[in-house]
């Protein structure tokens, strides 16, 4: 969720990065009292994310700027649609333009890609069961809250925010737990007993035969990493509702529907945030 504090801090830092001591061009070439109107126009179809971020870039630069959002985060739009209109000082509009676009293009790119994954798995679960598309921690450093917001705008779901708020045990952790021939289920159960009772525990497994011990150890989610479709189906069957089933690895728009068909609950997709391309949005400015 994008709190006012997050918006102010992150967008403010971006504006400072892009104009640490002002916009040399606008202050030199435009009269201080010139006003302008600008339309945010979609150059290609997509799903909006970051409307509030877009607005914040303008109002932090100049509180007198008025931003009218015509489309809400999560809404789909067509090429040519006008998504928002900004009015205010010409200098202020041109100073904030690039930062506003950099955020909105990137976040809308993520929302649009997420929406494609969500559409791909619609009704694909066994018996029409809905499957969740979730993000990962493969986000842009400094922009995690913003990119997670974009995933939700695209119809996706968030995973844990950080290393501090949920547990994810992977191969290395499991190997350590089993040292000295220790029983995995026992070792896992004892470790979980020291955690906050509100801590969700995901355990990643590479093979089907790890599942019984992991369930017995108390995992809340079993993450089946890089499983074949057949093994995913076997895993779902083995887990049988005793934990949430998450799949990851080898997920792309070509494979995701089949993965959803195996009956897993959640498919986590790093590409949502690490490889979405910026959506082509433009600002058409008319100086009065």
Q: Scanning residues 146 to 185, which ones bind a copy of itself (CB under 8 A)?
A: 148, 157-169, 172-173, 175-177
Annotated catalytic, 204? yes
CA Rg, the chain, in Å? 23
> How far apart are alpha carbons 73 and 119 in whole angstroms?
17
Compute the distance between CA of residue 70 and CA of residue 157 in angstroms, rounded to an integer.
25
Site for a copy of itself in 224-243 (CB under 8 A): none
Rounded Cα distance, 88 and 284, in Å: 14
| Least distance CB 260 / a copy of itself (angstroms) | 15
Q: How far apart are CA 174 and CA 201, in angstroms?
A: 13
Active-site position among 97, 204, 246, 265: 204
| Candidate ranges 65-73, 100-108, 226-234, 252-260; the one touching a copy of itself (CB under 8 A) | 100-108
Active site residue 98: yes
Binding window for a copy of itself (CB under 8 A); candidates: 68-76, 80-88, 130-138, 234-242: 130-138
Contact 30, 94 (CB under 8 A): yes
| DSSP alpha helix (H) spans, the chain | 4-18, 24-29, 51-61, 90-120, 144-153, 171-177, 184-192, 211-217, 229-239, 256-260, 271-274
Out of 71, 119, 138, 261, name the contact with a copy of itself by CB under 8 A.
138
Nearer Cβ to a copy of itself, position 86 or 143?
143
Note whether 93 and 4 are within 8 A (CB): no
Stretch that binds a copy of itself, among 74-82, 119-127, 136-144, 226-234 (CB under 8 A): 136-144
Using the minimum distance from each CB to a copy of itself, give the nearer residue, 78 or 198. 198
Task: Provide, rounded to whole angstroms, the least separation between the CB of residue 166 and a copy of itself.
Answer: 4
What is the DSSP code (8-state) at residue 157? B
Answer yes or no: 170 catalytic: yes
**CA angle 44-148-8, nearest 5°?**
90
Tell me whether residue 41 or residue 230 sits nearer to a copy of itself (CB atom): 41
Residue 225 known to be catalytic: yes
Which parts of 188-227 interact with a copy of itself (CB under 8 A)?
A: 191, 194-200, 202, 220-221
Q: Which of 137, 144, 157, 170 is catalytic?
A: 170
Chain residues 33-92 in contact with a copy of itself, contact rule CB under 8 A: 34, 36, 60-62, 90
Active-site option among 18, 62, 225, 280: 225
Q: Which of residues 244-283 bind a copy of itself (CB under 8 A)?
A: 244, 246, 265-266, 271, 274-275, 277-278
Q: 């109002």: which residue's tokens?
A: 59
b or e along 252-280 (b: 16 or more beta carbons within 10 Å of the residue's beta carbon)? eeeebbebbbbbbbbbbbebbbeebeebb
Active site residues per annotation = 98, 138, 170, 204, 225
């Amino acid at each position: 969720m994008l709190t006012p504090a997050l918006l102010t801090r992150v967008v403010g830092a971006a504006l400072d990065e892009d104009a640490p001591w002002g916009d040399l061009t606008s202050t030199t070439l435009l009269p201080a009292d010139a006003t302008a109107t600008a339309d945010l126009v979609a150059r290609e179809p997509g799903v909006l994310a970051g409307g509030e971020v877009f607005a914040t870039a303008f109002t932090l630069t100049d509180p007198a700027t008025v931003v009218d959002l015509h489309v809400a985060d999560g809404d789909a739009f067509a090429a040519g649609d006008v998504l928002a209109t900004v009015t205010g000082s010409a200098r202020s509009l041109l100073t904030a333009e690039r930062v506003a676009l950099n955020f909105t293009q990137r976040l809308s790119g993520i929302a649009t890609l997420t929406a494609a994954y969500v559409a791909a798995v619609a009704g694909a679960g066994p018996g029409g069961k809905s499957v969740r598309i979730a993000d990962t921690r493969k986000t842009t450093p400094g922009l995690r809250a913003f990119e997670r917001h974009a995933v939700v705008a695209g119809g996706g779901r968030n995973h844990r925010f950080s290393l501090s708020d949920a547990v994810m045990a992977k191969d290395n952790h499991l190997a350590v737990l089993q040292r000295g021939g220790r029983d995995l289920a026992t070792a896992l159960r004892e470790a979980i007993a020291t955690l906050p009772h509100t801590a969700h525990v995901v355990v990643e497994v590479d093979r089907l035969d790890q599942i019984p011990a992991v369930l017995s150890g108390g995992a809340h989610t079993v993450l089946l990493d890089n499983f074949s479709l057949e093994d995913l189906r076997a895993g779902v069957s083995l887990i049988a509702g005793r934990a949430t089933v998450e799949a990851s690895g080898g997920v792309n728009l070509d494979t995701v529907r089949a993965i959803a068909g195996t009956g897993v609950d959640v498919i986590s997709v790093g590409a949502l945030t690490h490889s979405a391309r910026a959506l082509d949005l433009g600002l058409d400015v008319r100086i009065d």
